[in-house]
Amino acid sequence: MTALLVSEVRRALARRLVRVLALLALAGVVAITVGNFVNSTKAAAGNGLDVEAERQARVQACRQSSPPGFQASCDRLTPLASPPGDKRFKLVDLWLGRTERLKRGITRTRGYVLASTSTLFFLLALVVGASFIGAEYRAGTLTTLLTWEPRRARVLAAKLAAAALAGAGLYLLLQLLLTALLWGVASTRGITAGADAAFYRGIAGLLARGTALASGLAVLGACLAFLGRTTSAALGGVLVYLIGVEGILNNQAPDWSRWFLLPNTVAVFTGEQLRRGGFTRSPGGAAALTVAYLAALVGVTVVVLRRRDVT
Amino acid sequence: MGVIEVEGLRKEYRRARGAPSIALAGLELSVPEGGVFGFLGPNGSGKTTTIRCLLGLVRPSGGRTRVLGADPQRDLASVIRRVGSIVETPALFPNFSGRRNLQLLGALDGIAPRAVDDMLGRVGLGGRGRDLVGTYSLGMRQRLGLAAALLKDPELLILDEPANGLDPAGIKEIRDLIRSLGAEGRTVFVSSHLLGEVQQTCDRVAILSQGRLVTAGPVEDVLAIGHRAGLLVRLGDLARGVEVLRAAGLDAALVGDVIRVALTPDEGARVTEVLAREGLYVSEVRPEEVDLETVFLELTGGESGEAP
């Protein structure tokens, strides 16, 4: 099984599409870094501590006014104060978001860098998983492999594990690289204030949850490609589901949305509770539901693959 | 018991519309251990479907198969290390070199990289092993597939059209290789439409038509089934020879540069006697040889082999 898994991981990572997408993502990471480096001027240097002090004051006020059980959320308050003209990159923008008021009634949300890039890297993981299996069907290589390892469940397990590792690995490496590069920008030309131990713990949790979701999305893409036998069927299936099922039903039957994949994965990723009307679900509950959905899909894929003729 | 046993094998493919397509309609087959076994049939007769059933790639609709005593649908994994195979044109990863493809496959069975290099040399790809498979010709891919099949040092080889895409020199090389593999005591089960090759290479053959077995046995026995038309006679004046033979009540006809007489091989003396009486002396009398192609066309009706 180990040899099969190693072989599948090598195949997954050696694919041209994976390399092209990884290079594009890498170029995006570099572009974000360069953009922030260039925009992070030293025009109003020396205000970093003031920003953090202002945030701390609001955190204290929030804690004092919040009922018991809700005080923890105050720690997530983000710096609001930013001196006019200060364009320095703030390390807390990596994860914590903040809203800037540009003019009366016009605001701009900044921050959430890792959350924004996560969306793209999740897509990358989905495509990597789907194309890994889609390419197998297109090239007919599954036939060759099954003449060496006829136990289809094992082959499926190895391929899904390889897809998960590839998707998760790419996500984590790209996000760690981005974090490291932007930390360098903040350290040299920006503001690191507010980046305390809790902040870094938050980043670590975010990346851990993001990595798990990326692996799940790669498995989702791979399973759908197994079922549809093409990459486009897998990606089209996801698109149709998100728009056609969750998008429409979200309006038609809002009560059902608590069971939808998208809001639950968002809850997992952000670590926030899922709230739908009076209903709430913890991030752990959302994670359990997401895993259950994925397990059901893997189960269906195993059954179909074991019964299907390979021609 | 043979290394391959097939009893009443049926395979139907469902269609979105209309009746299902029947690929195999109760095939019976037994392949004994050792030697080269040819599996012949027109296009669509069910050869590849049979091979896919034997390798567990396709689920039969009915019947029973055994490969080295194992049921391919249940416990093929227990014998797969002893079985090497090619199914149609071998599909390997185009972005990997031939060597790396084989190394990845070999790693599944713990085969050392050195064995890969040896095998590439054996199939004539020693100098191209490091090139990407995507740059290989069809013939080179076929050789690489054969190398993959041989990599496990299998006792049973199941080869689906192994000479497909090869040039004449390549076909001869593969023929010699298959012969040598059979001579080593392995069982080589090879499907082909190159009947001349099969006749030169195989010890036994089975002929398939419309998803059923038409005949099977040693090549000589199968050739004997063919309609032996008679004797071929060569002499100086062919036209007069035909007249004389016909006047003697024999069924004679001019075929190219010989006269074909409808007599059995042991009646050659009668021909020479009739002709000699009229002053015609033969330079050659030989029985008409029946080749596998003739038998094949007679048995299959020369038609497409799709099952009804």
Amino acid, single-letter form, for residue B43: N
B80 CA to chain A: closest CA distance, Å?
A: 7
B-chain residues near A144 (CB < 8 A): 87, 90-92, 105, 145, 148
Residue A20 half-sphere exposure, CB side, CA atoms within 13 Å?
Answer: 5
Chain A residues in contact with B102 (beta carbon < 8 A): none
Q: Do B85 and A147 touch (CB under 8 A)?
A: yes
Per-residue pLDDT tens over the stretch B49-77: 999 999 999 999 999 999 999 999 989 99
Q: How many Cβ atoms are within 10 Å of B17's Cβ, its own excluded?
A: 4
Asked if B76's CB is within 8 angstroms of A150's CB, the reply is yes
Judging contacts by C-beta atoms under 8 Å, the chain A residues touching residue B10 are none
**At B37, is the pLDDT very low, low, confident or very high (cuts 50, 70, 90)?**
very high
Please give the C-alpha separations between residue B245 and each of A97, B34, B266, B268, B284, in angstroms, as whole numbers.
Answer: 107, 48, 17, 12, 15
Identify the pLDDT of residue B69.
92
pLDDT at B167: 84
When scoring A6, A147, A304 by the number of chain B Cβ atoms within 10 A, the one with the most, hence best to mutate, is A147
CA–centroid distance for B208 within its chain: 11
Which residue of A lies nearest to B110 if distances are taken between CA atoms? A3
CB contact under 8 A, B80 and A149: yes
**What share of chain B has pLDDT > 70, as a percent?**
96
SS3 (DSSP) at B47: helix
* pLDDT at residue number A45: 46
Is B52 in Cβ contact with A310 (below 8 Å)?
yes
Q: For residues A17 and B254, give the distance between their C-alpha atoms in angstroms, rounded to a whole number.
A: 66
**B91/A141 touch (CB, cutoff 8 Å), yes or no:** yes
The pLDDT confidence band at residue A291, using thresholds 50, 70 and 90, is very high
pLDDT digits (tens, 9 = 90+) for A99-132: 556 566 666 555 678 888 999 999 999 999 999 9
- Per-residue pLDDT at A109: 58
Q: In A140-196, which ranges are continuous DSSP H helix?
A: 141-146, 152-189
Q: Which residues of B touch A131 (CB under 8 A)?
A: none
pLDDT at A98 over 60: no
Q: Which residue of A has its CA nearest to B55?
A: A147
Chain A residues 156-215 with a CB less than 8 Å from chain B? none
**Which DSSP letter does residue B32 get?**
-
- Confidence category of residue B150, pLDDT binned at 50, 70, 90: very high
Nearest CB to B57 within list A11, A143, A307: A143
Q: Is the minimum CB–CB distance between B148 and chain A shorter than 8 Å? A: yes
Beta strands across the sheet bearing B252-255: B252-255, B258-261, B231-235, B282-287
Which residue of B57, B77, B107 is in closest CB contact with A7? B107
Structure confidence at residue A258 (pLDDT): 87
Residue A248 distance to chain B (closest CA, Å): 31
Chain centre distance of CA A64: 34
For residue A150, give the nearest of B56, B59, B92 by CB distance: B56
CB within 8 Å of B260: residues ≥ 6 apart? B229, B230, B231, B232, B233, B252, B253, B254, B288
Question: pTM of the entire structure?
Answer: 0.80
Number of A:B CB contacts under 8 A? 71
Q: List, as ranges, residues 262-301 from B with C-beta within 8 Å of A.
A: none
| Site from B65, B100, B104 to mutate, A interface, most A CB atoms within 10 angstroms | B104
| Mean pLDDT for all residues in chain B | 87
ipTM of the complex: 0.80
Min mean pLDDT across A36-50, A174-188, B164-178 is at A36-50
A11 touches chain B (CB under 8 A): yes
φ, ψ for residue B12, nearest 5 deg? -120, 135
Take residue A233 and report the two structure tokens written for it: 């069927």
Residue A146 near chain B (CB below 8 Å): yes
DSSP states of B235-266: ES-HHHHHHHHHHTT--EEEETTEEEE---GG
Taking 90 as the threshold, does the pLDDT of residue A297 lie above it?
yes
Cβ of residue B147 closer than 8 Å to a chain A Cβ = no
Best of A144, A308, A310 to mutate (most B CBs within 10 Å, chain B)? A144
| Contact criterion met (CB < 8 Å) for B87 and A143 | yes
Tens of pLDDT, residues B294-304 = 777 777 766 55
State whether residue A68 sits within 8 Å of chain B by CB: no
CB contact under 8 A, A144 and B105: yes
What is the model's pLDDT at position B303?
57
- pLDDT surpassing 50 at residue B140: yes
